[in-house]
Copies of this chain bind each other. A is one copy, B any other.
Amino acid sequence: MPETTEATERGYSSAKTDYAKRLRRIEGQVRGVAKMIEDDKYCIDVLTQISAVNSALQSVALGLLDEHLGHCVSHAVAEGGDEAERKLAEASAAIARLVKS
């Protein structure tokens, strides 16, 4: 059950503007891939653009993960108990999804 009762302070809160900018650029890149296909561009060039979008998304994810570890997970660990265990297991599962996607 996604955690919505948590205070809205997130690890990424201080970088929200930067993430908004990066995601807008990624959105534009995806539109660019669609336009390349619409314009019958050469397959390899379309694939090169998709690899670039993948890498940009990956670095957004790694940034969010780093901030999550340093904020939400660290706070839970500092308090100890079951919540720390839960947050650590949750982070490891997110890392596994990222490694396998």
User: Which A residues are closer than 8 A to B by beta carbons?
Assistant: 2-4, 6, 8-13, 16, 19-20, 23-24, 26-27, 30-31, 33-34, 37-38, 40-48, 50-55, 57-58, 60-62, 64-74, 77-78, 80, 84-85, 88-92, 94-101
Contact = CB atoms under 8 A, between A and B. Distances in A.
Q: Could you tell me the dominant secondary structure of chain A's interface residues? A: helix
A10 B58 CA distance: 29
A11 B51 contact: no
Contact of A23 (B8, B30, B57): B30
9 contacts: A19-B37, A23-B31, A50-B98, A51-B101, A54-B57, A61-B99, A69-B69, A70-B85, A74-B84
